[in-house]
Structures are given as C-alpha cells and as structure tokens.
Amino acid sequence: MEYVACNLCGSADASPYCRVGEFQIVRCNACGLLYTNPRRPASETAGIYSESYFVSKKPSELGYDDYRSHAKGLKEVFSEHLSTIEQFVRPPASIVEVGCAYGYFLQVAASRGWTVEGVEISPFASQIARENANARVHTGTLSSVRLVPLKFDSAAIWDMLEHSFDPAEDLTETNRILKPGGYLFMTIPDAGSFSSRVMGKHWYGFKKVAEHNYFFSKRTLGQLLSKTGFRLLKTRGGVWPCSMRFLATKLAPYSPAASHAAEGIVRALRIEDAVVKFRFIDMFVIARKEATR
C-alpha cells in the first residue's frame, strides 16, 4: 500500500471519512476531495486490469463478470452520449477516448463518421478494442503513450477518471493533446449526487474502492478542471448501464445472501441480459479547453 497527498491541492492533511473493507477513504482538510489513502501502488495497475478484470470469476470484488455481455447496453448509452456531443462538435471531427476498454464507444463513433483513436491501459482490452473498432488504440496510460500535441478536436473519458492514480496528470495531458477550444466529455460517479447523499457511507461509488481511487463532486471536479486548463461548461445527470446478472452480483458487498438469491431470481426469470440504466450515480460533464493554452 502507498500513502499519497491530495491530487487536487497537494495537501497531506486529511481526515478519515469512511472505511470500506481493507481500504480507508479520506477527506482532504484543505479542499474537501475524497480519496482512497493508503491505496494499492500504481505499479500494480497493470495487474488489476488484466484479462481477469474483464472476465472475472469474482466480479463482486473487482471488475466485470464478462465485459462483452455489456456491449448492447454500453453501445446504447454511447449513442446517447454522441447525440449530446454532436450538439457541440460534429463528425468527421476527431475524438480520442481515454480508457476505451473493448472499444465499443470508438466503434459507435466511427459508424457515425467520427475520426477515432483510443488509449487503453490494459494490453488485453486494447487488442480487443483494435479488432472491434478497427481503430488506432494505444496501449498504456495517457502520459506514457505521448500523443501528438494539439491533435484532437475532442476527448472522451467514460467512467475512468475515478480509477486513475493521477487524475490531475491525466487531465493536463488531455488538455495538451486537444486543439485550443477543444471539448472534453466525461462521465464519472458524482460523490455529491442524490444517491450518495441518501446512501452516505454505503454509496455504491465507495463500494468499488478496490478500483476507485478518487470520488469527485461537481465542486472538486470543477476545481481540478480549471487547474488543468479547462472551463467546466455544464454537468447533468448521467446514465450508468448494467445487465440484471451484473446487478445481482454487485449486491454481494451489501449482502452475500441477497446477492445469491437475486442471481437465482434473475436466472429463473431469464432476464440475465436485460439492461438497466441507472440515473443519479454518474454525472455527465462537458468542459472546454481554454483557448489561451
């Protein structure tokens, strides 16, 4: 485990916020950012995002039952995202996706005429993304792949920044590869959302502490965006899709018995692959690179 300072303001002064299993979530006393501390060292990241993250025998703890089984729901949501994006930028403009997993977004965007490129930390997933989207996919972190500066019209980061070991660096790097005035679109769990206020320390975002390092609210994310050269234009409620089967397995951290029962019911009703779209967890974020950078 490694101890880290606040990624937003640099302060090391933080108070315990809540404990989830073996992990401690803290709140920065200077700026209020919530983050996991101590945490797994970044050097273990490659180990987390191996094949067993995407096809997991224990998805209640880490990763996905079978990421491929989420393709339908994800592609539906990505089409909705693109309808929003196209109110700001239109194809054949370029878009780079940071954390592209199996490439489903790249695939949907390319089919709508976008010029697409992806970055993915997992060698296993990036190979699948290349095949799915027939697109250029760079394997590594955004900083390690060193893309050409000022190259892209827009960037997309879907449910990835909370997994990052250095969100400030990822956003700075995203800024560097965007053209002046380029757009950034993100979805991220909203630690200031209705669901988090109701659930408190039992909020779903905190339950994924084994893979989530940061828990942003609209306020702390807005501050990080402005620090990294972006202007936050707006946020609104996002959609988080998942299958009924996956939902049942994710009950396990709350109650193994309830999870087991739910899996049985979902199987008996033959609704394993039905897609549920959750609102009130994620926020959809639209930001723009300040023209002066």
Contacts by residues 200-207 (CB-CB < 8 Å, ≥ 24 positions apart) = 201/17, 201/18, 201/20, 202/254, 204/250, 204/281, 205/162, 205/281, 206/18, 206/20, 206/25, 207/20, 207/250, 207/253, 207/254
The residue within the footprint of Zn ion, chosen from 6, 77, 160, 244 (CB under 5 A), is 6
Least Å distance, CB 11 to Zn ion, is 5
Listed in sequence order, the DSSP H helices in 96-217 are 104-111, 123-133, 142-145, 167-177, 194-199, 204-207
- Looking at beta carbons only, is 6 or 286 nearer to Zn ion? 6
Instruction: Choose which of 12, 30, 265, 291 interacts with Zn ion (CB under 5 A).
Output: 30
Binding residue for Zn ion, selected from 4, 9, 20, 129, defined by CB under 5 A: 9
Considering only 5, 17, 27, 31, the residue that binds Zn ion (CB under 5 A) is 31
Size of the site for Zn ion (CB under 5 A): 8
> Cα(141)–Cα(149) distance, rounded to whole angstroms?
16
The strand pair at 282-289 and 178-189 is best described as: antiparallel
Least distance in angstroms from the C-beta of 214 to Zn ion: 11
Does 93 interact with Zn ion (rule: CB under 5 A)?
Answer: no
Tokens representing 131 are 């095949």
Q: Closer to Zn ion at the Cβ: 6 or 266?
A: 6
Choose between 32 and 140: whose C-beta lies nearer to Zn ion: 32
In angstroms, what is the minimal distance from the CB of 12 to Zn ion? 9
- Smallest distance from the beta carbon of 33 to Zn ion, in angstroms? 5
Q: How far is the CB of 23 from Zn ion (least distance, A)?
A: 19
By C-alpha distance, which of 77, 87, 151, 76 is closest to 119? 151
Asked if residues 152 and 95 have their Cβ atoms less than 8 Å apart, the reply is yes
Contact 164, 186 (CB under 8 A): no
Give the range of 10-18, 115-123, 125-133, 170-178 binding Zn ion by CB under 5 A.
10-18
Interface residue with Zn ion, options 4, 20, 25, 28 (CB under 5 A): 28
Stretch that binds Zn ion, among 25-33, 79-87, 204-212, 266-274 (CB under 5 A): 25-33
Structural element, H or E, at residue 120: strand 115-120
Contact positions toward Zn ion, by CB under 5 A?
6, 8-9, 11, 28, 30-31, 33
